[in-house]
Amino acid sequence: MTTTGTPREAILLVANYDSDVGYAWWLMESIWAAIARRWAPTHQVIVCYPSISKIPSAISTAPVLVSQMGFGRGGASMLERYIFLRRQAVRVLYLTDRDPVSWRYLFYRMAGVRAIVIHDHTPGERTPVTGFRRFAKAIINRIPWISADLLIGATRYVTMRHLAVNAFPAERCYTAENGIPAASSREASDLHEEFEIPRNRFIMISVGRAHRVKGISLVLAAMRELVHDRGRSDLHYVHVGDGPDLEHFKAMTDLYNIGRFVTFAGRRNDVAKIARGADLAIHASDAEVGYSLSVLECMQAGLPVIVSDAPSVSGATVPGETGLVFERGNSSSAARSIEFLLDNQACAKSLGVAAQSAAEKRFNLDQTHASVLEAIDRCAFSSLR
């Protein structure tokens, strides 16, 4: 429904996309719902989408008001935003993947906002700043009217990136590591039967959008080496997910003559069941936030996960304890890691058990929620007391 006015001071949670965008935004929606349950008794909590098609269940069942207003580029005018913030008595503004410093924040504060929170889960690596640029950024980031009061990194890597690249004040940085919900079932799919894979093959999966940045090309190159150069016929690769480059990857399997060893399962709603039916997993992405949620899903399923050694990808993996790492961009290195697990099943199972334990203890969604709520309470709400 559309907000028309509130008798209490408000917390505004801003979405960047349509209400039914899906993908990793389920995580942010679960965080918004946790914020609403925590502060609804004392504050009006509003979730604002630039467009509304279908309200996610996490939001429709939370104690929030839902409104439509674009706070991003191409959205509402600054005057419209000012009026909205003023009318709703917004005191805490919670933004996702926005710059830590912006002239817009001045207008928001003039409208009555007293604390601005940035939750960053943008992927990729950045170049650290040094010398005068770092000095200048450090000064600008301390100008209270145009800089955020709190910056939450979705992983330790993201937080450290802001310290190194943006010279953001360490005392205003906080990490709330991404997590996933506890497994609701231990049911596993019979992938050999479902995808007509010979029973004598181990099954390796990857999960994610079929996009070139996810490193699927490298996995296919590793498969080519394993099949044709190393003579392996005991491995089958299953990729779960759709995306803009799916046909490109299918063409690569034809080019490499490995089609009989590769299955593209497309977008599925039973990823957890598929993961529990596999033997190992690989995630060769070029850019994440420190680790991917799909890596956590595979760890939770008890799989040893092979990842690249890029710091923006491997943050959830302890080499030799919960998984293996290979040299970034090196398909032969990936092939060697895959072959090692195929030939050392006891080690593979041990890594999988440790990975599952880490997913349950460290990377669980309840811990993510608790960390976000603590950060907001300690850093954002301190300005309201």
Are 275 and 298 members of one domain?
yes
Are 200 and 347 members of one domain?
yes
* Strands, sheet with 150-153, edge to edge from the N-terminal-most edge strand: 65-68, 44-49, 10-14, 90-96, 115-120, 150-153, 173-175
DSSP letter at 120 equals: E
Angle between helices 25-39 and 365-375 (to 10 degrees): 60
Q: pLDDT tens-digit profile of 320-353?
A: 999 999 999 999 999 999 999 999 999 999 999 9
pTM of the model: 0.89
Are 357 and 227 members of one domain?
yes
Is 4 within a domain? no
| Phi, psi of 377, deg, nearest 5 | -65, -40
pLDDT at 22: 60
Q: How many Cβ atoms from other residues are within 10 Å of residue 67's Cβ?
A: 18
Are 271 and 349 members of one domain?
yes
Does an H or E element contain 109, and which?
Answer: helix 104-110
Is 276 within a domain? yes
DSSP string, 251-270: HHHHHTT-GGGEEEEES-S-
Is 164 within a domain? yes
Is 18 within a domain? yes
Is 124 within a domain? yes
Are 46 and 153 members of one domain?
yes
Number of domains comprising the chain: 2
Is 39 within a domain? yes
Task: Collect the ranges in the chain with pLDDT lower than 70.
Answer: 1-7, 22-24, 380-385
pLDDT at 158: 95
CATH number, domain with residue 84: 3.40.50.2000
Are 158 and 253 members of one domain?
no
> Sign of dihedral through CA atoms 160, 369, 284, 100?
negative
Are 355 and 370 members of one domain?
no
Are 283 and 295 members of one domain?
yes
pLDDT at 378: 83
Is 166 within a domain? yes
Q: Which two tokens stand for residue 71?
A: 């706070």
pLDDT at 278: 98
Does an H or E element contain 104, and which?
Answer: helix 104-110
Is 5 within a domain? no
Q: pLDDT tens-digit profile of 75-112?
A: 899 999 999 999 999 999 999 999 999 999 999 999 99
Are 141 and 216 members of one domain?
no
Are 265 and 318 members of one domain?
yes
Q: CB-based contacts of 348: which residues, under 8 Å, 6+ apart?
A: 279, 280, 304, 341, 342
Are 21 and 145 members of one domain?
yes
pLDDT at 183: 87
Task: Give the structural domain span for 239.
Answer: 191-361
Are 170 and 283 members of one domain?
no
